[in-house]
């Protein structure tokens, strides 16, 4: 892209308008720390799907023309603009943080067309270099670590990797070389030895992110279409950067409390008997469980918003009511493909009202999905979203408590949707090339808004495909993983990077979706799932069944142990979600989030934090009964033994099959609850605080766990502090919930000694 020399400029409000010889552009200070770089290559204004509403904050801007360029200063960020629209970012003290690379790309050596054909003849495909509408090259200083970019494959640090932004349903076993999966979140955080910053490239077209894979001098990102439209986000820490990114794109709303419990699923629960078998198994084997998920087989001929009543004795509603009486909240899958069938009301309504995507000639576009030939709702049209949202009433009437959106990349069986399929972008015509990456995002928005309006409770919506900002409407899972040790290893960096991408409510299919799990793999995976924000066991039809009792008493006991631990920790996890809604801080965090200067933490792939107080170091290799554990700076207590260790330190930890090494930081106050089979089985009238010696504090949050009354003040907030000896004091900083705790008990842990229990009194501040 050629911009030429900077000819003119003028400041209007918070925007610095730039006239180059070949292009017009602007730099906008959205806040003193967030700078938008924009050039309308495709259209003159923003068309963001991620950012809703006015996100600007007051800012004072100074503009000065110097010999080395045009300078824009917000007080917190200094921006230098040069000819050819080179844009460099500096901190408030004038130190370079993120600068454009002045040279040209030097792609890695590729092969001739003759050799490409030779490789193809043996099945070795090589992707051709794409011509992008634009590319942004940023200089590498040499100490960069990159985090985020959604649920990409590989390890935590994305340095030396390349990825694509194109939501892709590929059920093959995912390995490090996969460039695209189900989500396109074009946001990353860069950490160097001296600075941290974020870049959010708000473009829904197919994009490419090369994080120093082709050169040690630069990294780059580019898109096949759309505008040059990216946000530079400054901060003093990764937490600052993520908080500002989620201030732009939104945070995940506080979920219903039951959603933090255990979920059991399988593609293959065919009928009422199968579902009741699972419900009986959970309760009979004393496995706490809050939700059973129904895959596509509950539908009539795989048609959305239908129920195969023949498989539910003609009364599915009664079946779901019985489940609810036992504490189960049914969640059902919902795909976008609408079966092409005369007399099917959803299809006929959609055709009559023009609610489906169309061919360039104006006909309803048809491809095949589970029901066969199917049409695709045009979710970019607000009327279609409202229509789809209203249709959730059918499922609510049956007793459904959550919607699981699948196949919404959109996936299709007869080849991918062509780029020129016609969609709507709110108030105008668009194409699949521009709307593909936000199709799942907009479907989730339709379901969320429909459920919120119809039901009143906090919507429980799962989505497979995402874009930046999808966290406002849905939680997600990482899609069709496999029962492979490589995939339990990948689960930790995947979930941590999703959290660093603004998607905090996420999980993997515990045990693996495809292939056959093993007893050892399932036992180790539940130890990861126990601490994952979304905790669901899910597997594919035709694979070995992996309910907790399928592998004998040893695995059952291990499974029960970690599901019960999860339920004990729900008050703590709920607090983390309350913090997340306010600040954007993820629930599951890589060590580097809290220990940025720690070189080991920066590339730690097999340990993680649950919040700021608990560190988990699962075993993710077969046959291992010991593992190396790294503890960052500070004092740590072994959760199982109470042993005290000073970090930073490496140690060899015994980890037999029933043991996941867990550590709690000194000064921690961990709110927990009594044992129960599902959330709400027992009254929430007693709070237990697990207290570890050391000075510390904790904000604990309590509400009804179900609706949005908390946003109007219907909640209690407690403030607890502890001293070096673990003595606890408490106070109530907000009193708005009608059912506060009747009893608060502190269990003071002491190294090598039994805990001491004492009751805590809390007075209103």
Q: Is the peptide bond before 613 cis (omega within 30 degrees of 0)?
A: no
**CA atoms 677, 683, 684, 686: torsion sign:** negative
The greatest distance separating any two alpha carbons of the chain, rounded to the nearest whole angstrom, comes to: 81
State the catalytic residue, choosing from 409, 575, 606, 703.
409
Other C-beta atoms closer than 10 Å to the C-beta of 159 total: 18
φ/ψ of residue 318, rounded to 5: -65, -40
Q: Which of 46, 504, 475 is nearest to 245 (CA)?
A: 504
State the catalytic residue, choosing from 480, 575, 581, 606.
480
Q: For residues 673 and 568, what is the distance between their CA atoms, to the nearest angstrom?
A: 5
Tell me whether residue 657 is exposed, middle or buried, using C-beta atoms within 10 angstroms of its C-beta: 0 to 12, 13 to 18, 19 or more: middle
DSSP assignments along 222-291, one per residue: EESSS-EEEEEEEESSHHHHHHHHHHHH--PPPPPGGGGSEEEEETT--SHHHHHHHHHHHHHTT----E
DSSP assignments along 67-84, one per residue: TTEEEEE-SSEEEEEEGG
Q: Which of 105, 208, 104, 111 is nearest to 152 (CA)?
A: 208
Helical H runs in 186-271?
Answer: 238-249
- Rg of the chain (C-alpha set): 26
Active site residue 480: yes
Other C-beta atoms closer than 10 Å to the C-beta of 22 total: 13
Q: For residues 223 and 1, what is the distance between their CA atoms, to the nearest angstrom?
A: 12
Other C-beta atoms closer than 10 Å to the C-beta of 313 total: 12
β-pairing, 196-201 with 187-191?
antiparallel
User: CB within 8 A of 299, min separation 6: which ones?
Assistant: 306, 307, 308
DSSP assignments along 412-477, one per residue: -SSSPPPTT-EEE-SSSEEEHHHHGGGHHHHHHHHHHHHHHHHH-BPP-EEESSEETTGGGT-EEE
State the catalytic residue, choosing from 229, 295, 335, 406.
406
Active site residue 406: yes
Crossing angle of the two packed helices 238-249 and 570-583, in degrees rounded to 10: 70
Q: For residues 294 and 500, what is the distance between their CA atoms, to the nearest angstrom?
A: 30
Q: Under a CB-based contact definition with an 8 Å cutoff, are residues 296 and 302 in contact? A: yes
**CA atoms 284, 289, 293, 298: torsion sign:** positive
Q: Which residue in this structure is represented by tokens 């109007």? A: 712
**CA atoms 105, 109, 114, 116: torsion sign:** negative
- Angstrom CA distances, 311 to 270, 272, 297, 301, stand at 7, 6, 9, 12
Q: For residues 392 and 533, what is the distance between their CA atoms, to the nearest angstrom?
A: 25
**CA atoms 31, 34, 35, 39: torsion sign:** negative
User: CB within 8 A of 397, min separation 6: which ones?
Assistant: 317
Q: Which of 473, 474, 475, 535 is nearest to 508 (CA)?
A: 535
Q: Which of 569, 567, 563, 571 is nearest to 676 (CA)?
A: 567
Residue 28's DSSP bridge partners are 15, 36
Q: Which residue in this structure is represented by tokens 């062509």? A: 418
Enzyme catalytic residues: 406, 409, 480
């Amino acid at each position: 892209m050629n911009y030429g020399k900077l000819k003119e400029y003028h400041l209007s409000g918070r925007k610095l308008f730039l006239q180059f010889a070949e292009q017009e552009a602007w730099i906008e200070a959205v806040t003193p720390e967030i700078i938008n770089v924009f050039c309308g290559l495709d259209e003159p204004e923003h068309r963001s799907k991620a950012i809703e509403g006015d996100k600007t904050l007051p800012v004072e801007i100074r503009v000065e023309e110097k010999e080395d360029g045009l300078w824009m200063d917000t007080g917190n960020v200094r921006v230098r603009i040069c000819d050819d629209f080179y844009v460099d970012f500096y901190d408030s003290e004038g130190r370079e943080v993120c600068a454009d690379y002045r040279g040209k790309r030097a792609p890695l050596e590729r092969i001739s067309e003759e050799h490409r054909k030779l490789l193809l003849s043996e099945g070795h495909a090589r992707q051709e270099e794409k011509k992008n509408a634009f590319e942004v090259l940023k200089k590498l200083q040499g100490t960069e670590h990159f985090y985020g970019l959604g649920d990409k494959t590989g390890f935590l640090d994305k340095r030396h990797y390349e990825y694509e932004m194109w939501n892709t349903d590929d059920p093959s076993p995912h390995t490090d070389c996969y460039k695209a999966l189900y989500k396109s979140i074009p946001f990353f955080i860069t950490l160097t030895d001296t600075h941290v910053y974020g870049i959010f490239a708000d473009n829904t077209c197919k994009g490419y992110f090369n994080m120093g894979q082709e050169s040690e001098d630069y990294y780059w990102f580019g898109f096949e279409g759309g505008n040059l439209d990216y946000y530079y986000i400054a901060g003093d820490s990764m937490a600052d950067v993520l908080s500002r990114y989620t201030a732009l794109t939104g945070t995940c709303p506080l979920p219903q409390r039951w959603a933090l419990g255990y979920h059991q699923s399988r593609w293959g629960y065919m009928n009422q008997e199968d579902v009741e078998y699972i419900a009986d198994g959970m309760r009979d084997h004393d496995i706490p469980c809050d939700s059973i998920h129904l895959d596509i087989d509950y539908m009539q001929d795989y048609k959305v918003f239908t129920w195969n009543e023949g498989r539910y004795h003609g009364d599915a509603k009664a079946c779901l009511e019985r489940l609810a009486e036992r504490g189960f909240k049914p969640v059902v899958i919902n795909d976008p493909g609408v079966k092409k069938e005369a007399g099917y009301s959803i299809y006929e309504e959609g055709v009559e009202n023009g609610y489906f995507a169309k061919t360039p000639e104006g006909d309803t576009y048809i491809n095949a999905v589970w029901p066969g030939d199917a049409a695709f709702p045009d979710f970019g049209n607000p009327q279609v979203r409202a229509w789809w949202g209203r249709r959730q009433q059918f499922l609510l009437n049956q007793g459904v408590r959550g919607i699981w959106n699948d196949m919404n990349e959109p996936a299709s069986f007869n080849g991918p949707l062509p780029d020129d399929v016609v969609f709507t972008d709110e108030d105008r015509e668009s194409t699949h090339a521009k709307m593909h990456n936000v199709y799942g995002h907009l479907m989730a928005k339709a379901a969320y808004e429909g459920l919120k309006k119809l039901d009143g409770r906090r919507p429980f919506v799962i989505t497979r495909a995402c874009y930046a900002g999808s966290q406002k409407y849905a939680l997600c899972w990482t899609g069709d993983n496999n029962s492979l040790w490589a995939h339990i290893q990948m689960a930790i960096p995947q979930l941590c990077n999703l959290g660093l991408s603004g998607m905090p409510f996420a999980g993997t299919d515990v045990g693996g979706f495809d292939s056959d799990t093993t007893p050892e793999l399932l036992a180790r995976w539940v130890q990861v799932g126990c601490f994952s924000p979304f905790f669901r066991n899910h597997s594919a039809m035709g694979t070995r069944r992996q309910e907790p009792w399928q592998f004998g008493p040893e695995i059952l006991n291990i499974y029960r142990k970690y599901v019960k631990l999860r339920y004990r920790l729900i008050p703590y996890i709920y607090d983390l979600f309350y913090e997340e809604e306010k600040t954007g801080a993820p629930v599951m965090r890589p060590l580097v989030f809290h220990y940025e200067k720690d070189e080991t933490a920066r590339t730690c792939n097999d340990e993680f934090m649950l919040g700021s107080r608990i560190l988990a170091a699962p075993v993710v290799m077969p046959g291992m009964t010991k593992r190396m554990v790294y503890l960052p700076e500070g004092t740590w207590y072994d959760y199982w033994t109470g042993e005290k260790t000073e970090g930073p330190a490496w140690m060899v930890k015994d980890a037999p099959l029933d043991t996941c090494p867990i550590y709690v930081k000194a000064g921690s106050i961990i709110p927990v609850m009594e044992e129960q089979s599902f959330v709400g089985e027992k009254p929430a009238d007693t709070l237990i605080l697990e207290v570890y010696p050391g000075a510390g504090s904790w904000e604990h949050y309590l509400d009804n766990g179900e609706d949005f009354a908390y946003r109007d003040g219907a909640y209690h907030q407690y403030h607890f502090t502890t001293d070096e000896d673990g003595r606890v004091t408490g106070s109530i900083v907000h009193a708005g919930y009608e059912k506060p705790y009747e009893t608060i008990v502190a269990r003071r842990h002491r190294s090598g000694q039994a805990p001491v229990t004492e009751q805590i009194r809390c007075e209103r501040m």
